[in-house]
Structure 1
Amino acid sequence: MIILGVILLVIGLVAGISILTTIGIILIVVGAILAILGSTGRAIGGRNHWF
């Protein structure tokens, strides 16, 4: 999810499409939160692994 966010962010910045930039930032933030919670061992959505 973080990689997809970075790709969308770069495409949005290069092409000048603001919606892709916004979606990219959101995906990066959500991916980072899920990665942090997953690394602490917390169950996310009732599952121990979110991937």
Structure 2
Amino acid sequence: MRRSDSTDDEFAEFVAARSPQLYRSAYLLTTPSHAAEDLVQTALAKTYAAW
């Protein structure tokens, strides 16, 4: 099923607004920056699937 462009735009806005906070939280949980980036990417991928 194809998502609408507006849904993709809304998710992109969400990612742009929340990524810094998500990264900071992930960094506190994992410490290495690459692990934090992986954690945020995984969380956003799962969020997009449910969006």
TM-score tier after normalising by the smaller chain length: 0.3 to 0.5
Q: TM-score, normalised by structure 1?
A: 0.41
The structure with the largest helix share of the pair is 2
Q: TM-score, normalised by structure 2?
A: 0.41
